[in-house]
Amino acid sequence: MLPCLPADKANHFIYGALIALAVYALLLPLTDLAAQWALAASVAAAIGKELADRWANAQAQSAGRPPPHGVELLDALATAAGGFFLFVTVQLTHYFGA
């Protein structure tokens, strides 16, 4: 039986992969380091999203409202994992010469 990934983590993974794919596609004609930049972009997006959620929570709490977002390390890791998936795929493609 395959493990079940919560929908929130799956969404983070997909968005991380899409961010990495977009950066990779844009930079591929310009640099040999497109995959590395794509991975860096997904990691930056992961950290930025969780920091933005933390800031929004602090703003809400200071105004007496409940925090609107969950801030989780696993969310950031799932987003970055999407970029890592693209990075590994590109590296394996180059390694095997496809």
Per-residue pLDDT reduced to its tens digit, 61-83? 999 999 888 889 999 999 999 99
Q: Is residue 3 part of a domain?
A: no
Backbone angles phi, psi at 67, to 5 degrees: -65, 130
Q: Which domain holds residue 85?
A: 8-64+71-95
pLDDT band at 6 (very low <50, low <70, confident <90, very high): confident
Number of separate domains in the chain: 1
Domain assignment present for 53: yes
Neighbouring C-beta atoms of residue 13, cutoff 10 Å: 22
0.85 exceeded by pTM: yes
Residue 32 tokens read as 């040999």
Per-residue pLDDT for 52 more than 80? yes
1 within some domain: no
Determine the 3-state secondary structure of 48 from DSSP: helix
Q: Determine, yes or no, domain membership for 28.
A: yes
The pLDDT of residue 30 is above 70: yes
Asked whether residue 81 is assigned to any structural domain, the reply reads yes
Task: Report if residue 79 sits inside a domain.
Answer: yes
Burial of 70 (0-12, 13-18, 19+ CB in 10 A): exposed
Say whether pLDDT at 23 is over 80: yes
With a pLDDT cut of 70, the percent of the chain lying above it is 98
2 in a structural domain: no
pLDDT value, residue 68? 87
